[in-house]
Amino acid sequence: MATPRNDVLQSVFITGLKNVHGVEHQALALIDRQLNHLTNYPEVADKLRKHRVETEQQIVRVEEILDGFGESRSLLKDAALTLSGNLAAIAHVFAPDEILKNSFANFAFENFEAASYNSLIALADAGGFGKATPLLRTSLGEEQAMAAWLDEHNAALTLQYVERRAAGETASH
């Protein structure tokens, strides 16, 4: 039975799905921007390429859940296109330590995504939208794994950057 609380739960859930859909599109753009300008850190490039594939699947999962609520795709495109540009500022193409700044920003971004999925899982559980939960959990796991990888490689990447600079090699990207 529809109650005011259930209506609010569903509304917040659907808004959250649309938001994360936009965030994932922004993630694709950020990954592409970095891959276009990344030559000396093949391990990072490889990881970004793999996570790009995961990100595309995450978008499909969100669309599948939204389809179940009869939400139209045309509105989603709008949401993706009207994203605020502030996240785009985390492209650090002109910084001498671009590789490090991007790595820190990626870590922040992956944690933002993980928090979004955690929030959606709580809404799905509370609202009885049980079909969504396994899809959201899969995406959450991918975001957490990516964040963990970035965290684990932060120290080594920093030292790699120092070695390249000390050797007079291109170190920024």
Site for Fe ion in 84-103 (CB under 5 A): none
Range in contact with Fe ion (rule: CB under 5 A) among 41-49, 108-116, 129-137, 147-155: 108-116
Smallest distance, Fe ion to C-beta of residue 114, A: 8
Smallest distance, Fe ion to C-beta of residue 169, A: 30
Dihedral of alpha carbons 129, 134, 136, 141, sign: positive
How many residues touch Fe ion under the rule CB under 5 A: the total is 2
User: For residues 22 and 99, is the Cβ–Cβ distance under 8 A?
Assistant: no
User: Of 114, 143, 147, 161, which lies in the binding site for Fe ion, with binding defined by CB under 5 A?
Assistant: 143
Range in contact with Fe ion (rule: CB under 5 A) among 15-23, 64-72, 75-83, 139-147: 139-147
Smallest distance, Fe ion to C-beta of residue 110, A: 5
Strand segments, DSSP code E, in the chain are none
DSSP 167: T
Q: Does 62 bind Fe ion (CB under 5 A)?
A: no
Q: Is 150 exposed, middle or buried (0-12, 13-18, 19+ CB in 10 A)?
A: buried
Range in contact with Fe ion (rule: CB under 5 A) among 95-103, 113-121, 151-159, 162-170: 113-121
Residue 91: what are its φ and ψ, rounded to 5°? Answer: -80, 125
**Using CA atoms, how far apart are residues 61 and 125, in angstroms rounded to an integer?**
17
Q: Does 113 bind Fe ion (CB under 5 A)?
A: yes
Of 147, 170, 163, 142, the residue nearest 56 (C-alpha): 142
Chain residues that interact with Fe ion, rule: CB under 5 A = 113, 143
